[in-house]
Structure 1
């Protein structure tokens, strides 16, 4: 647990031996939607399974949260490339832990399936939360080949969107019987609409004094398309009319300096805030008027679901699983990826239509509560795990 000696944090719970052991293997336990889903599933099933987390490289900033739940997190110190020594360490740890299931995540942990089989693990789940940053369309022949070759070692691929499932089956040619779609879900009790439209302190340091506040949340990485969002916001400001617009981009990452430079080039430093990562995203969302997702590629964006649960209308790029979340002219608007002018027009359109924003926000929350709750997601993983354990 947080603050206790590492040896004590890794001590075996007296009941743990009675529960099936599930080892989750990630590149790092960092900040992102995939890691949030993993942590949520772990937290909600600790009474049913004994979870462990192995990180191929470093522990990551979410490790302490897992250990606060009594779930040990270990880092294997993998170096870039195919570090055989790290994979041998992984194999030894799996042999010692003797998991009933190994659950791996995304391309960074895909080849763990081979080493897990070498360690004697029979049941392997591989989750596909989105395509690699360097391969947003999933067309990299080497990555496709790796998935196809390792498919016989993997009990189930778990795509988090119908788009990813179609891609796995039709393009990667993983057999449909090996896939099980489980949509990401969020806590609709945590993410709720603002109780009042009055009294929002938009003069606070992380926000902007404005009439209409756009916002987005995500790692500051090129795949999120935040450069296009800033271009679109600048275009919207150039034709904003009587309304003063503001933008907040919550998150941190390697593109931060470039994005700050872009904001400065447009002379929008008084309109745009990049406050870094926040632990109270639900509070930030309640301060927004419109949520914008400008991604180049997505699986199922948790941040869109969080925004919809918060009663916000959404403008999103029509990529990946986004069209499965945002219903045009019902919960928001979809635009082509990388098209700053189309994005600006959608942002301006919603900024000028308060009744439409309200209707979209109400419909969006209803949709999330019905189809994308954290309970539905957790039940999906429990059914999958129990089915495999029964085989």
Structure 2
């Protein structure tokens, strides 16, 4: 392969501006993914992250942040046409902001990509009034490219939003390789890790109920993420688990990596997902993964080979599955090794960045059709 044939080589530099609520630091899984891309992507592709909302929605501050994103787009237009706006979109307020930003990009004659991350965008669309649905369909149809996480979202974008199939790209989430070393069971208590928002959608009530059924087994757990921390800690205390379940709150990337390095089981009993970053982190860190058949999970994972699936909302089944893993280190190791192999073959960030860079480069090099500028 020559230099000019390599992904991202042989093209003029392209500035890609990622628009993310909360930015890299407080943008949840979307922000973490963007941070990984920035770390992994070589020159000439240069990424900039634009916070469109702030840490959380506050009308005045969030309005100022959105105005800042618009000014950044104007600055990109003044600086040159080798600029691409990458709009990361989910439901609720995220869609409202991206409706504004996509229209600004069109008015400025700037290429833009929509990257859909929502856990159930079809349901979010159905709850909106007809005029909003029409505006959202126009936004998606006018994007140069729409990136989705899996087959369910691909069908939503194609069938409900009317995007032409040749404008849809399936690009599953990925993470960097943390280079975990294979290790023998420590002999201590099994270490259970949860990463995500501490709320009902992520299955935290069922997880706490399941852990309460496992008092006689050797385990400790860390549930890391934002949410109603005082309420969760109170529930942990009421269940008699205060000495075994840690609730550190939101943790940064370095602390999350250290936590995963020490973990044996990654559990995420979500009710809805796109493609959970936490699950991919579990595979990468050679943990046995326990999760649910939501989003694109069962497009990638195989029950009893690379993970153990549990039914959504079933605390008893979750308890039984965790008990099985806690009592069987050999099963944990088998699942962890197979999950690690899956990660290396399909979910490591290098291949993701190569595909994303090619997509950005192709779009930046391609003049916008007149109908896109109209």
Q: Retained in 1: the 8 A contact 2:50–2:69?
A: no
- How much does 1:360 deviate? 0.8
Q: Secondary structure at the match of 1:184?
A: coil
Q: Retained in 1: the 8 A contact 2:36–2:176?
A: no
In the superposition, relative to structure 1, how do residues 312 and 144 fare at CA in structure 2: closer, same or farther (>3 Å)?
A: farther
1:113 is matched with which residue: 94, 102, 107? 102
**1:317 partnered with 2:292:** yes
**TM-score by structure 1 length?**
0.78
2:266 is matched with which residue: 291, 313, 335? 291
Structure-1 residue corresponding to 2:126: 140
Q: Retained in 1: the 8 A contact 2:190–2:219?
A: yes
- How much does 1:124 deviate? 0.8
Structure-2 residue corresponding to 1:42: 38
Structure 1: gaps of 5 or more residues: 1-17, 62-75, 200-209
Structure-1 residue corresponding to 2:166: 177
In the superposition, relative to structure 1, how do residues 23 and 329 fare at CA in structure 2: closer, same or farther (>3 Å)?
A: same
Considering Cα pairs closer than 8 Å and 6+ residues apart, tell me whether 1 or 2 has the greater RCO. 2
**1:224 partnered with 2:207:** no
Structure-2 residue corresponding to 1:13: none
**1:54 partnered with 2:29:** no
Aligned equivalents of 2:67 and 2:27: distance in 1? 26
2:191 is matched with which residue: 196, 209, 213? 213
**TM-score by structure 2 length?**
0.81
Q: Secondary structure at the match of 1:78?
A: helix
**1:233 partnered with 2:219:** no
Structure-2 residue corresponding to 1:126: 114
Aligned equivalents of 1:246 and 1:35: distance in 2? 29
In the superposition, relative to structure 1, how do residues 386 and 304 fare at CA in structure 2: closer, same or farther (>3 Å)?
A: same
Count of paired positions: 338
Aligned equivalents of 2:268 and 2:174: distance in 1? 17
Q: Retained in 2: the 8 A contact 1:136–1:297?
A: no
In the superposition, relative to structure 1, how do residues 298 and 103 fare at CA in structure 2: closer, same or farther (>3 Å)?
A: same
**1:20 partnered with 2:14:** yes
Aligned equivalents of 2:312 and 2:134: distance in 1? 27
**1:247 partnered with 2:221:** yes
**1:303 partnered with 2:297:** no
Structure-2 residue corresponding to 1:198: 186
Q: Retained in 2: the 8 A contact 1:95–1:119?
A: yes
Aligned equivalents of 2:179 and 2:66: distance in 1? 43
Structure-1 residue corresponding to 2:315: 340
1:162 is matched with which residue: 151, 163, 172? 151
Aligned equivalents of 2:70 and 2:304: distance in 1? 53
- How much does 1:90 deviate? 5.4
Q: Retained in 2: the 8 A contact 1:193–1:312?
A: no
Give the root-mean-square deviation of aligned CA atoms: 2.7
- How much does 1:87 deviate? 7.1
Deviations 1:179-207 (A, max 9, x none): 1011111222x1514534338xxxxxxxx
Deviations 1:65-94 (A, max 9, x none): xxxxxxxxxxx94339xx996676455444
**1:149 partnered with 2:135:** no
Aligned equivalents of 2:307 and 2:67: distance in 1? 49
Aligned equivalents of 2:212 and 2:27: distance in 1? 28
Structure-1 residue corresponding to 2:8: none
Q: Secondary structure at the match of 1:300?
A: coil
Q: Retained in 1: the 8 A contact 2:122–2:156?
A: no
In the superposition, relative to structure 1, how do residues 191 and 227 fare at CA in structure 2: closer, same or farther (>3 Å)?
A: farther
- How much does 1:318 deviate? 1.3
Deviates more, 1:177-186 or 1:27-36: 27-36
- How much does 1:312 deviate? 1.3
1:380 is matched with which residue: 352, 355, 362? 355
- How much does 1:151 deviate? 2.0
Aligned equivalents of 1:193 and 1:138: distance in 2? 42
Q: Retained in 1: the 8 A contact 2:114–2:145?
A: yes
Structure-1 residue corresponding to 2:370: none
Aligned equivalents of 1:177 and 1:144: distance in 2? 22
In proportion to residue count, which structure has more helix? 2
Deviations 1:111-148 (A, max 9, x none): 11111111221x2111112337xx69545342754431
